[in-house]
């Protein structure tokens, strides 16, 4: 704000940030954030004091922000709706309706995840093990496949499937291929050794993988890792980065890992929408990865750890972002539901990725939980 009389006279008609916060029912902290992202900037800022001043006419926009936040609408979409209200209210209404359609679709997906969690937590671990061993002996059938894709000349993705261990890794940097191989290699001993406490085993495995990848060196070299360990009645998950694990159960399909990316953190904070994340220029920037080369500097990776009871008929998919970032979830689900055996499923998923342009390496593991005597796996493939 300048010191001339006009500006000072105008200031008397404006509201301080405190007065505006009280009138609009927005906190001062929220107003500062909304200024930062361009959603609700003050009309002027005093150059000497740094005080923010708002025009009373901005109260209408502020109240709209309050209402839309009650719908849990992300801030980026709120900004769009507010801007449209000033130029095209019909378009603003359409945007709100479209948002709610997506909310209802997301609610269906979340309900599937809630059902899954309720199923897991309704059984004690002891009861689940007893049922699996005496009533429904379970086996697991699996297949793994990795492919360079249609564009890149080398493959920095790796996939592995064995009697107990299933894993995918996506390497990056000067020695990305060595990083992904080392990440999985650090876990290979779990495939033949009976484990103790599953969470501790997974935590130790993540630490070994971190040391193995960090020891490779190379400019910004690192790797993601998503792996599952089969015990006969449970699957334990260890996850770092943006490779993913999915579960198809009773026609319900959902992601059971959380992406460790900058863009996902922005979605979690409501700064951008999931749809905006899909085309965000920094969507591949990792905030956690093995080796510390994913944007997190020297910060130690904190893996996602999870143990879940399994059911006959479960189909698990582990994949690198060469699949998940380039193929719609509905298409992935269609292939998983429509392909009988794991070997056929991984081949079809790789083909799907390549038909979508094959711009990245891709690695997939599909594991099916079935009832019956233990038998050999369908296939363990590599490319």
pLDDT of residue 134: 39
pLDDT of residue 218: 75
3-state secondary structure of 36: helix
Beta bridge pairs of residue 36: none
Spatial neighbors of 64 by CB under 8 A, at least 6 apart, are 81, 82, 85
pLDDT of residue 296: 43
pLDDT of residue 219: 73
Using a 10 angstrom Cβ sphere, with 0-12 exposed, 13-18 middle and 19 or more buried, the burial of residue 101 is exposed
Q: What is the pTM of this model?
A: 0.68
In the chain, where the domains are located: 5-102, 125-371
pLDDT of residue 281: 76
Instruction: Write out the DSSP string of 275-292.
Output: HHHHT-TTTT-BS--BTT
Whether the Cβ atoms of residue 292 and residue 284 lie closer than 8 Å to each other: no
> Whole-angstrom Cα distance, residue 288 to residue 293?
8
Instruction: Kindly report the CATH number that applies to the domain delimited by 125-371.
Output: 3.60.40.10
> Whole-angstrom Cα distance, residue 254 to residue 212?
31
Per-residue pLDDT of the chain (383 residues; tens, 9 = 90+): 444 444 444 555 899 999 999 998 888 988 988 998 889 999 999 888 888 999 999 999 999 999 998 888 888 889 999 999 999 999 999 989 888 877 776 666 666 667 666 766 665 554 443 333 335 689 999 999 999 999 999 999 999 999 999 999 999 998 999 999 999 999 998 987 776 678 888 999 999 999 999 999 777 899 999 999 998 888 999 999 999 999 999 888 989 999 999 888 888 777 777 777 777 777 778 999 998 654 444 445 689 998 888 999 999 999 999 999 999 999 999 999 999 999 999 999 999 999 999 999 999 999 999 987 544 455 554 44
Residue 17 vs residues 9, 27, 62, 160, 278: alpha-carbon distances, Å: 17, 9, 12, 57, 35
Token reading at 290: 């093995």
Dump pLDDT digits (tens) for 296-355: 444 456 899 988 889 999 999 999 999 999 999 999 999 999 999 999 999 999 999 999
Dump pLDDT digits (tens) for 236-247: 999 999 999 999
Residue 118 vs residues 103, 107, 115, 130, 312: alpha-carbon distances, Å: 22, 16, 5, 19, 17
Half-sphere exposure of 78 (CA within 13 A, CB side): 22
Would you identify the CATH topology of the domain 5-102? Multidrug-efflux Transporter Regulator; Chain: A; Domain 2 (1.10.1660)
pLDDT of residue 110: 65
């Amino acid at each position: 704000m300048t010191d001339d009389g006009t500006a000072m006279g105008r200031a008397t008609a404006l509201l301080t940030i405190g007065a505006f916060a009280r009138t609009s029912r927005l906190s001062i902290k929220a107003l500062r954030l909304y200024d930062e992202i361009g959603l609700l900037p003050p009309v002027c800022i005093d150059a000497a004091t740094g005080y923010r001043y708002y025009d009373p006419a901005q109260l209408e926009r502020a109240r709209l922000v309050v209402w839309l936040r009650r719908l849990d609408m992300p801030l980026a979409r709120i900004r769009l709706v507010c801007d449209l209200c000033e130029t095209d209210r019909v378009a603003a209404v359409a945007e709100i309706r479209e948002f709610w359609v997506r909310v209802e679709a997301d609610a269906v997906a979340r309900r599937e995840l809630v059902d899954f969690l309720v199923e897991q937590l309704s059984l004690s671990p002891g009861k689940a093990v007893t049922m699996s061993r005496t009533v429904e002996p379970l086996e697991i059938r699996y297949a793994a496949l990795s492919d360079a894709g249609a564009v890149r000349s080398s493959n920095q993705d790796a996939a592995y499937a064995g009697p107990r261990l299933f894993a995918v890794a996506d390497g990056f940097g000067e020695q990305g291929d060595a990083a992904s191989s080392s990440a999985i290699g650090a876990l290979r001993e779990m495939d033949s050794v009976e484990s103790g406490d599953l969470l501790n085993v997974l935590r130790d495995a993540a630490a070994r993988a971190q040391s193995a990848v960090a020891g490779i060196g190379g400019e910004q070299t690192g790797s993601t890792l998503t792996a599952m360990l089969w015990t006969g009645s449970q699957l334990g998950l260890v996850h770092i980065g943006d490779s993913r694990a999915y579960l198809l159960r009773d026609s319900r399909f959902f992601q059971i890992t959380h992406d460790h990316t900058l863009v996902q953190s922005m979605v979690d904070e409501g700064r951008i929408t999931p749809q905006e994340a899909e085309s965000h220029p920094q969507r591949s920037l990792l905030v956690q990865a093995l080796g510390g080369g994913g944007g997190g500097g020297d910060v130690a990776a904190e893996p996602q750890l999870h143990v879940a009871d399994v059911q006959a008929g479960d189909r698990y998919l582990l994949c690198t972002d060469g699949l998940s970032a380039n193929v719609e979830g509905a298409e992935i689900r269609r292939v998983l539901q429509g392909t009988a055996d794991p070997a056929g499923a991984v081949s079809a998923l790789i083909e799907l990725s390549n038909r979508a342009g094959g711009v990245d390496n891709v690695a997939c593991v599909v594991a099916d939980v079935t009832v019956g005597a233990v038998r050999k796996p369908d296939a363990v493939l590599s490319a």
